[in-house]
Structure 1
C-alpha cells in the first residue's frame, strides 16, 4: 500500500508539500497540486482519514446512534439524516445501540473517537446524566425522541402521550367502550407514555381502565401476534384494539384474520407511527403519524448548526402527532 512518502517521491516534492496538497491547504502551487494528484492516482494512494482529521479538525461526518438500523422506522430516520448530510458535504457513521446501555455507550464513544463533530443520538438505555455528560463533550450532539431537561434545547421529540390519547379517543368516538391495548414490552419512555395516553383517554371519557385489557409483546409483528392471541384467550367483550405501533397492529390483524374475526366489522384496530406497512396491510391501517423524516432532518440540521457554533433558538422541539384515517376503524357493531 502506497504511503505519503511514496507519493511525494513520485511527484518530486517534499512530504510537507504532498501533505498540503492532500489536505487542500492554501498557498500551494498549481504545479505541486497537479504533480501530487497524478502521483496519487498512479500509485492508488488513499489519504488516511484519521490523519486528515487531525489536520482539518473534522472528519466531515455526522455520527448517528439508532436502536437497530435494520428496523424500518430507524431506516427512515437514517435516510432523512443522510439527505441533510449530502446537502452539506458530510458522510454518516452509524451505530446500533439496541436499547442497551453498554452497547449505546460504546457506540457513542466510537463515534466521538472517530472525530464526529455532529451527533444525532436515539438512546433509550443510557441515563440522562450520561447523555448530558456526552453533550458537554460534544457541542454538536442532539438527542432524538427524548426530552432531557438539562439539554432540552438540544432535544427533538414527539408527544407520544398525545398520540396514543388521540388514537384511543378516535375509537371512543366511533362508539367503542371495550378497547384493548397492545403495548411494547420494552422498558422505555415511549411505551410508558403511549400506555398512559390510552388510559387517560379512557378515564376522561368515563370508561373503566382495566389492566386485564392490556397485553405486552416485542414491538414487532410477532409481538403483536403474541399479544393479540393472549387477548383473545381471555374472551373479553373487546370491539377495538389500540396498538403501540403499526407492526404490532399488523400482527394483531393477522391473528384476527386467522380466527375468522373481521376487521373492522367485528373489531376495529388502530396503529401508531404511520410506517409503510400501514398502507399495505388489509384493511389499510388507521394510525397516528409519527413525522420521523421531518424530525430527523431537523435533528441533523440542528447538530450541524451547534457544531459550527451558529446561533439556534433555545427551546425544546416537540412535534405533534396527527391522525391518519384509513379502513381499519368503523363504528362499534353494537351501535
Structure 2
C-alpha cells in the first residue's frame, strides 16, 4: 500500500496524509482520524526510518514512572501508549523506584536516545534537574512539580478535592476520629496528600489528633504496620483514610488480624481506585484518579508541544468518590481488643 492509496481512501491530499503522519501542520482532529482509519483499513505501514530522516524526529516518546510494580502505573502506561500509537509513536518506559538519582539517569538516557518528548509521571524530581530539563528544547510534561520553566507543561492532581470527598463521606457516617496513613515523607505526592488532609480537617472544624497520623510506604506491608500501631492507641480511630489503595489493602488485613470487622468496627477508604480495589474483602471504598485520563492529558500535551501548537499548558485532574463496602456508620460503642506489641508480619 502507498501513501497515494491512503489519500484516495481518506479523500484528502497526499500532503494532508503526510502532515498527519508527521503530526505537523494544521490538520483537524476529524480529518486526522479519517486518515488514520484509512491507514488501518488498508494496513498501511509507513517506513519509520525514512520518516525520521525526513522529519528529523525519532518518533519515540519517553515515559518515566515511579514504580512499575505498583498497580497504579500499568494502566497509566497502557493509556499513554494507546495515544502515542494513534500518532504513530513508540514509547520508552523507565521506572525510577522513587529514586531521584535514578530519575535523573533515566531522563538523560532518554535524551541521548533523541526522544521527541518526555512525560515524567513522578513528582520526585530534583529541582535542579527540573530547571535543567526545562532549558532544553525537548518537549516535557511533568506531574505535579509546581512552577516549571517556560514552555513546559504540567499535569496537576486535585488531591485536596479527593481528600475532602473522603472526609465528608466519613463525617456523614458519623466518624470524627479519622486516622490518616500517609506515604513516605520524602515523597512530594505523599506530603501533598497529608497536608490536604490536615487542611481539610481544619476547614471543617475537626480537631487534629497527632496520634491518628501514621506514615506508611505506599505498599501493603506499610499499611499493615501502620494500622497495627493505630489500633494500639488508647482511643483508636473509627475510620482510616489511606494515601493509596495498596496502603488501604494492608489496612484491611491488619484490622481483620486483630479480630475487628470492616466496616462494622472500622471504616477504610483508599486513594487511586486501582483495579484490585473492587476485589478486596470487603470491596474498597476509594477516591478514583483516572489513570487513562491522566495518561491522555500527558501524552496529548506532548504532541501539542511537538507540533508547536501549544507549549507550557497546565492541566488539572479531578477525582471521584467510589462507594463500595468498606465504609459504614460509626459505632457508638467499641469492641475492646488486645493487640500483641511484637511483630506484624504478613
TM-score of the aligned structures, taking structure 1 as reference length: 0.80
Q: C-alpha distance in 2, partners of 1:120/1:149?
A: 14
Cα distance between partner residues in 2 of 1:260 and 1:82: 44
By how many angstroms is 1:231 displaced?
Answer: 1.0
Match of 1:142 in 2: 141
Contact 2:100 2:124 in 1 (8 A): yes
Confirm whether residue 281 of structure 1 aligns to residue 283 of structure 2.
no
- In the TM superposition, residue 87 of structure 1 has moved relative to its aligned partner by 0.8
1:320 aligns with 318
Alignment of 1:184 onto 2:183? yes
Confirm or deny: 8 A CA contact 1:164 1:195 kept in the other structure: no
Distance verdict in 2 for CA 1:48–1:275, change over 3 Å: closer
The offset of 1:124, in angstroms, is 3.1
Q: Give the drift of 1:152.
A: 8.1
Aligned to 1:172: 171
Alignment of 1:1-335 (within 5 A): 56-151=55-150, 154-311=153-310, 315-334=313-332
SS at match of 2:271: coil
Q: Distance between the aligned counterparts of 1:83 and 1:294, measured in 2? A: 12
Question: Cα distance, 1:333 vs. partner?
Answer: 1.3
Q: Which consecutive residues of structure 2, in runs of 5 or more, have no partner in the other structure? A: 1-46, 334-346
Larger Rg: 1
Distance 1:96 1:218 in 2: 17
Shift of 1:167: 1.1
Secondary structure of residue in 1 paired with 2:88: coil
Query: What TM-score, normalized by structure 2, do the two folds share?
Result: 0.77
Please give the alpha-carbon distance, in whole angstroms, between the structure 1 residues aligned to 2:66 and 2:224: 22
Instruction: Give distance in 2, aligned partners of 1:82 and 1:300.
Output: 8
Instruction: State whether residues 65 and 120 of structure 1, in contact with CA within 8 Å, keep that contact through their aligned partners in structure 2.
Output: yes
Query: Are the aligned partners of 1:165 and 1:200 in contact in 2 as well (CA < 8 Å)?
Result: no
CA contact 1:246–1:271 (8 Å) conserved in 2:
yes
Q: Distance in 1 between matches of 2:313 and 2:267?
A: 39
Q: CA deviation at 1:218?
A: 1.0
- The runs of 4+ residues in structure 1 deviating greater than 3 Å are 51-56, 149-153
Q: State the alpha-carbon separation in 1 of the partners of residues 191 and 124 from structure 2.
A: 15
Q: C-alpha displacement at 1:56, in angstroms? A: 4.7
> Which runs of 5 or more structure 1 residues have no equivalent in the other structure?
1-46
CA 1:146–1:170: 2 relative to 1, 3 Å: farther
C-alpha separation between the residues in 1 aligned to 2:332 and 2:314?
A: 44
Asked if the contact 1:100/1:124 (under 8 Å) is kept, the reply is: no
Equivalent-residue separation in structure 1 for 2:48 and 2:167 (angstroms) = 55
What displacement does 1:62 show?
A: 0.9
Q: How far apart are the structure 2 equivalents of 1:79 and 1:226? A: 32
- Structure 1 125/189 Cα, relative in aligned 2: closer, same or farther at 3 Å? closer
Equivalent pair of 1:263/1:283 in contact (CA under 8 Å): yes
Q: CA RMSD in A?
A: 2.3
How many pairs align? 287
Contact 2:184–2:217, Cα closer than 8 Å, also in 1: yes
The whole-number CA distance in structure 2 between the counterparts of 1:152 and 1:140 is: 8
1:98 partner SS? coil
CA deviation after TM superposition for structure 1 residue 278, in Å: 1.2
> Aligned partners of 1:167 and 1:127: how far apart in 2?
31
Query: Aligned partners of 1:55 and 1:204: how far apart in 2?
Result: 57
Q: SS at 2:195's partner residue?
A: helix
Q: Separation in 1 of the partners of 2:150 and 2:175?
A: 41
Distance 2:146 2:249 in 1: 29
1:236 positional shift: 2.3
Q: Structure 1 residues 319-328 or 107-116, which shifts more?
A: 319-328
Q: Contact 2:230 / 2:236 at 8 angstroms: preserved in 1? A: no
